[in-house]
Amino acid sequence: MTVDLENCDKEPLRFIQMVQAYACLVVVELETMKVRYASENTVEVIGKRWKDILDRPVQEVFSFEVTAQIPVGLNREDGFETLNPIQAFFSVGSDRVLKNVIINRSENNLLIEVEGASQFLHASRYQQMLSRAINKIQRLREYDNLFAETAAVLRQVTGYDRVMIYRFDKQFNGEVIAEAHGEGLEPYEGLRYPHTDIPPQARELYLKNRIRLISNVSAPPARLRASGEVGEDPLDLSPAGCRGVSPVHLEYLGYMGVNNSLSVAIVMEGKLWGLFAMHHYSPRFVDASIRNMLLFVGQIFSGHLSLQSANRYRQENLTRNLARLAVGEMITKTRDIFEGLTHGSHNILNLFEGVSGAAIKFEDRFEEYRYAPPQKDIKELIGQIADRKDPESGLVFHHDNVGNDFDPFMDHCDDAAGVLIIFLNPELTDYVAWFRPGLSQTITWGGKPEKQVVVAEDGTRRLGPRTSFARYVETVEGCSAPWTKEEIDLAMSLRTTIINSMMQRYSEVKQANEQLKKALEDLETFSYTVSHDLRAPLRAINGYTEILAEDYGSKLDEDAQVIIQRIHRGVEQMNSFITDILELSRVGSGGLKIEEVEVSPLAGEIISEMRAVYPDTEGLDLKIQPDIPTIRADRRLLRQLYLNLISNAFKYAEPNAEGIIKLEVGARPATDTKPVVYYVSNTGPAIPEEYTQTIFEMFSRLSTRTDTEGTGVGLAIVDRIVQRHNGSVYVTDDRLGITFNFYLSPDTPQ
Amino acid sequence: MYINQILLAEDDTTDAEFFQRALSRLDSPPELVWCKNGAEALKGLEDCSKASCMPRLAILDIKMPGMNGLELLEKLKSDPRTKDMPIIMMSSSDEPQDIARAYDCGANGYLVKPSRFQDLRELVGSINYFWIKTNRLRPISS
């Protein structure tokens, strides 16, 4: 099959029917135990021509040392893994040569590879190298050191020109994170390689067969020949180490100047983490025992990596949990998401590293901390997130280049390229969001990462490897530092914490509301009790006292008459108290019926009522401003307000220096800053400043005026009425003497 | 046939006594028939109806144990024998909705129990003048 632009990433590497020149491959059918495939180079490796061994029984090709192991390997759970390599002698030409035989099972076949064995590699030296490498790796503590040291140890043990620790990122772009190389070689450390350099099917093979030797880039491979007994279908060679190399890859290595490459896959949690990538600039062969040892080192290395990463994760997890608990506690304590997230030592701005700012939107409140894009842009972003209907989007959203995918954030790439949002309600209207600045990231590629199209002589186009490995520096804009899985987990658990404490708060508010409702009902019951039951005994006292005075007055002496009068006065006072308290409770309950009310006639009406009650105020100088502007208020309550203010004036007015008692009802026109202020003013001594606030409290009466009638509830009622109309009432000592001023704005919400 | 009588349904002894005393101070006062609760008042009026001598006026306190004044009022106003008898409701409440409810139930008048005896006396005088003396001039159809 020709690999071209359309199928480049589907190139069937495992079906390449070639073997590398360093080994030969003999494939034995399990059912018949006869050779069904053989590579063309068998004669050079085992001294037998491929044509001669096809369809022959296995024992005619291999000696007893090899064939004896076949049933053993077939019956073992781990197959031939611990048996390989099997050492056996072969007669090649006139020589008896020791070879390593490696057997792997592939479905219904045994793949038997025969390759050279380094006779000089004594068992003790092998042991020594192995334990030195492993010891060194296991003693390492520092994360970064592990890579450099491992590279150095591997180079020392293997003698490769260059040993690199090559790590994949999420997109499988590779980066050389550490290396050890021979003198005079250009350093590759820090270079990146695009994911296309190691395509998906190649990465897949690394998981199956964790070591890959390309012994000699320039040695022509040997074809695999099939017996006429088997079909045309190509054989899957993935278990065989000597499997032929993709021409594209060979070309790639050739351009790099590499003649020999050995890679060991580092697998963490079932995923390809990276490679030990070793290059040699001249051909060389690496013995199967050393390859096994390298595999083992790779396992130790990934184990060490897992351990370190688990330790680090545990540590970070602990820190994160502490932060989450602290914030949760703060929210519960302050009963407020805004305070809880911002007041503690762990707070919204330091939960995640490198944030440019954060924002909280909860109910009607939106707050930004240090920095946030405009609220409307966030709202639009969330709208678009909701439209995409990602199953997780109702809980958390994260992106490290949000402006690229969501146009509301197109203009916020500098300060909010990264966004992390946790949603607090299903409508997505309440949320906590964090923003991360866009980073301009410099990536040094080992060659410009682009596809190379090679046009063959016949005009077909195919994908070729990069021809240039000159450094290519790319600057990537718009991405923030990524939100790690751990950070997203933290955000999720924080969300749960916030929602739980909010639920708690809601249930508390609900409970308080119910208590309040009950209290209001109690108050209504109390009002009724006051109006009915408390008055009955008073009526009795009053009635009997009157009857006593009327029917038996003549029989009582003067002292008794005075006592009767005092009883009478006490009862009257009690009655006014009851009336006023009842009035106050009425102000608080029921809805307001706001209308335009004419003030002048209302005041006039009240004043004539007052005149009837206080007949001795004939000489009063009374002035009602004729053109008082109408006022928007509940008529009944406004009447009560004026009644209380005017009756108050009647009660407390005193003559001025000229001996005249004056009373004035009016209004001052609105100014730029103030609405129309209505007032009731009378002559009399000014109210001392320390009392100007307290007079509006319940039962407060000026201590100097205890002789005057009044319950002290009147002004509390005035205050309550003004409050219900979103207004304000205050005392001044301008105009005639004492002035009560007020304004109402019933149309602004409370 | 009406006789010069006022039926008072009132559970409070003191209020009943005040009413009696206020009434007794009038010139040629009507006779007061005092019932302590709604049931007693119903029974009293039943007897009156049998004897064909109905009181000229009934005054019912609203807040009474058992059958309250309003329930009693509705019963009397739906009974052909008593529906034309003037009924005044009495209460210590001056809440507008209480007053309105009394009239809704068919009351002919509403009296807020005054806190001063003197006021009660004046009120009783007016009631007597309007409902007993004035009404006597006009025959009441049954």
- Kindly state whether residue A668 falls inside one of the protein's structural domains: yes
B91 to A536: CB separation less than 8 angstroms, yes or no = no
- Residue A85: asked if its preceding bond is cis (omega within 30°), the reply is yes
Helices (H), A614-661: 635-652
Residue A81, CA distances (Å) to A76, A121, A207, A269 in order: 9, 20, 15, 21
Residue the block writes with tokens 């068998």: A42
Query: Of the candidates A65, A98, A116, which is a domain's last residue?
Result: A116
Residue A106 is predicted with a pLDDT of 84
Evaluated on CA atoms A601, A602, A606, A609, the torsion sign reads positive
Measured CA to CA, the distance from residue B41 to residue B70 in angstroms comes to 13
Residue the block writes with tokens 């009257």: A572
Residue B69 is predicted with a pLDDT of 92
Residue the block writes with tokens 């004729």: A626
Cβ–Cβ under 8 Å, residues A670 and A744 = no
Q: Is the pLDDT of residue A750 over 90?
A: no
Q: Which two tokens stand for residue A497?
A: 């914490």
A537: containing domain: 513-569
Cβ-nearest to A535 among B21, B92, B118 = B92
Q: Which two tokens stand for residue A62?
A: 């291999």
Residue A648, CA distances (Å) to A576, A678, A720 in order: 14, 16, 16
pLDDT > 70: percent of chain A: 88
Measured CA to CA, the distance from residue A209 to residue A231 in angstroms comes to 26
Q: Which two tokens stand for residue A160?
A: 């490769």
The verdict on A112 and A46 lying in the same domain is yes
The verdict on A47 and A82 lying in the same domain is yes
Q: Is the pLDDT of residue A466 over 70?
A: no
Measured CA to CA, the distance from residue A216 to residue B142 in angstroms comes to 132
Give the closest-approach CA distance of A611 to chain B in angstroms.
Answer: 20
- Give how many domains chain A has, as a whole number: 4
Residue of B nearest to A538 (CA): B115
Give the closest-approach CA distance of A337 to chain B in angstroms.
Answer: 45
Q: Check residue A398 and report its DSSP letter.
A: E
Q: Shortest CA distance to A579 belongs to which of B99, B115, B102, B14?
A: B115
Residue A99: CATH number of its domain: 3.30.450.20
Query: Of the candidates A430, A464, A483, which is a domain's last residue?
Result: A483
Q: Is the pLDDT of residue A525 over 80?
A: no
- Give how many domains chain B has, as a whole number: 1
Residues of B in contact with A528 (CB under 8 A): 93
Evaluated on CA atoms A510, A512, A515, A517, the torsion sign reads negative
User: SS3 letters for A192-210?
Assistant: EECHHHCCHHHHHHHHHCC
The verdict on A645 and A694 lying in the same domain is yes
Residue A199 is predicted with a pLDDT of 82
Measured CA to CA, the distance from residue A678 to residue A631 in angstroms comes to 9
Give the other-Cβ count within 10 Å of A724's Cβ. 18
ipTM (interface pTM): 0.75
Mean pLDDT of A698-704: 51
Residue B105: CATH number of its domain: 3.40.50.2300
- Kindly state whether residue A310 falls inside one of the protein's structural domains: no
Residue to substitute from A524, A528, A539, A636, interface B, most B β-carbons within 10 A: A539
Residue A705 is predicted with a pLDDT of 46
C-alpha A649 chain-centroid distance: 64
Q: Shortest CA distance to B76 belongs to which of B101, B34, B51, B108?
A: B108
Residue of A nearest to B15 (CA): A540
Residue A322, CA distances (Å) to A43, A77, A329, A356, B4 in order: 69, 46, 10, 23, 91
Mean pLDDT of A648-673: 85
Which runs of E-coded beta strand occur in A218-337? 222-226, 260-268, 271-280
Residue B10 is predicted with a pLDDT of 93
Measured CA to CA, the distance from residue A280 to residue A185 in angstroms comes to 11
- Kindly state whether residue A211 falls inside one of the protein's structural domains: no
> Which stretch, A376-380, A424-428, A453-457, A514-518, has highest mean pLDDT?
A376-380
Give the closest-approach CA distance of A590 to chain B in angstroms.
Answer: 12
- Kindly state whether residue B28 falls inside one of the protein's structural domains: yes
Residue B137 is predicted with a pLDDT of 46
Residue B8 or A674, more confident: B8
Residues of B in contact with A547 (CB under 8 A): 21, 117
The verdict on A608 and A727 lying in the same domain is yes
Give the model's confidence band at A77: pLDDT under 50 very low, under 70 low, under 90 confident, else very high.
confident
Q: Is the pLDDT of residue A121 over 80?
A: no
Mean pLDDT of A276-286: 88
Give the other-Cβ count within 10 Å of A559's Cβ. 8
Give the model's confidence band at A403: pLDDT under 50 very low, under 70 low, under 90 confident, else very high.
confident
Q: Which two tokens stand for residue B27?
A: 């010139």
Measured CA to CA, the distance from residue A363 to residue A505 in angstroms comes to 14
Measured CA to CA, the distance from residue B97 to residue A130 in angstroms comes to 101
The verdict on A409 and A475 lying in the same domain is yes
Query: How far is it between the farthest Cα atoms of chain A?
Result: 162
Residue B63 is predicted with a pLDDT of 87
- Kindly state whether residue A404 falls inside one of the protein's structural domains: yes
- Kindly state whether residue A69 falls inside one of the protein's structural domains: yes
The verdict on A645 and A738 lying in the same domain is yes
Q: Which two tokens stand for residue A286?
A: 């690496």
Which runs of E-coded beta strand occur in A198-332? 211-214, 222-226, 260-268, 271-280
Q: Is the pLDDT of residue A460 over 80?
A: no
Q: Check residue B129 and report its DSSP letter.
A: I
Cβ-nearest to B116 among A531, A540, A546 = A546
Residues of A in contact with B15 (CB under 8 A): 536, 539
Residue A459 is predicted with a pLDDT of 63
Q: What is the pLDDT of residues A186-225, one digit of tens each?
A: 888 888 888 878 888 888 888 888 899 998 888 888 888 8
The verdict on A364 and A441 lying in the same domain is yes
Q: Is the pLDDT of residue A393 over 80?
A: no
Q: Which residues pair with A453 in a beta bridge?
A: A463
B115 to A539: CB separation less than 8 angstroms, yes or no = yes
Q: Which two tokens stand for residue A22?
A: 């360093």
Measured CA to CA, the distance from residue B117 to residue A208 in angstroms comes to 110
Angle between helices B117-127 and B13-24 in degrees, nearest 10: 60
Give the model's confidence band at A703: pLDDT under 50 very low, under 70 low, under 90 confident, else very high.
very low
Residue of B nearest to A569 (CA): B116
Residues of B in contact with A572 (CB under 8 A): 115
Mean pLDDT of A119-141: 70
> Which residues contact residue A713 at a Cβ distance below 8 angstroms, ignoring those fewer than 6 apart?
A577, A580, A581, A583, A584, A698, A699
- Kindly state whether residue B47 falls inside one of the protein's structural domains: yes
Residue to substitute from B116, B119, B121, B122, interface A, most A β-carbons within 10 A: B116
Evaluated on CA atoms A151, A155, A157, A160, the torsion sign reads positive
- Kindly state whether residue A166 falls inside one of the protein's structural domains: no
- Kindly state whether residue B96 falls inside one of the protein's structural domains: yes
- Kindly state whether residue A533 falls inside one of the protein's structural domains: yes
- Kindly state whether residue B139 falls inside one of the protein's structural domains: no
Q: Is B33 helix (H, G, I), strand (E, B) or coil?
A: strand
The verdict on A728 and A643 lying in the same domain is yes
Residue the block writes with tokens 């199956």: A208
C-alpha A28 chain-centroid distance: 57
- What does pLDDT average to over chain A? 82
The verdict on A404 and A450 lying in the same domain is yes
> Which residues contact residue A111 at a Cβ distance below 8 angstroms, ignoring those fewer than 6 apart?
A25, A27, A103, A104, A105, A237, A239, A240
B40: containing domain: 2-134
Helices (H), A533-687: 535-552, 558-588, 599-613, 635-652
The verdict on A605 and A728 lying in the same domain is yes
- Kindly state whether residue A208 falls inside one of the protein's structural domains: no
Residue B140 is predicted with a pLDDT of 47
Cβ-nearest to A532 among B18, B92, B118 = B92
The verdict on A738 and A646 lying in the same domain is yes
Measured CA to CA, the distance from residue A164 to residue A279 in angstroms comes to 8
The verdict on A650 and A718 lying in the same domain is yes
Cβ–Cβ under 8 Å, residues A80 and A69 = yes
Cβ–Cβ under 8 Å, residues A314 and A294 = no
- Kindly state whether residue B141 falls inside one of the protein's structural domains: no
Q: Which two tokens stand for residue A687?
A: 């109210």
Residue A432 is predicted with a pLDDT of 93
B14 to A536: CB separation less than 8 angstroms, yes or no = yes
Residue A702 is predicted with a pLDDT of 47
Which runs of E-coded beta strand occur in A220-310? 222-226, 260-268, 271-280
Residue A370: CATH number of its domain: 3.30.450
Measured CA to CA, the distance from residue A219 to residue A682 in angstroms comes to 118
Phi-psi region of A297 (alpha: psi -120 to 50; beta: other; left: phi over 0): alpha
Query: Of the candidates A88, A116, A144, which is a domain's last residue?
Result: A116
Residue the block writes with tokens 């409701």: B89
Print pLDDT tens along chain B (142 aa): 778 889 999 998 888 999 999 999 888 888 999 999 999 999 999 888 888 888 989 999 998 888 889 999 999 999 988 888 899 999 888 888 889 999 999 999 999 988 788 889 899 988 888 877 766 544 444 4
Q: Is the pLDDT of residue A619 over 80?
A: no
Give the model's confidence band at A698: pLDDT under 50 very low, under 70 low, under 90 confident, else very high.
low
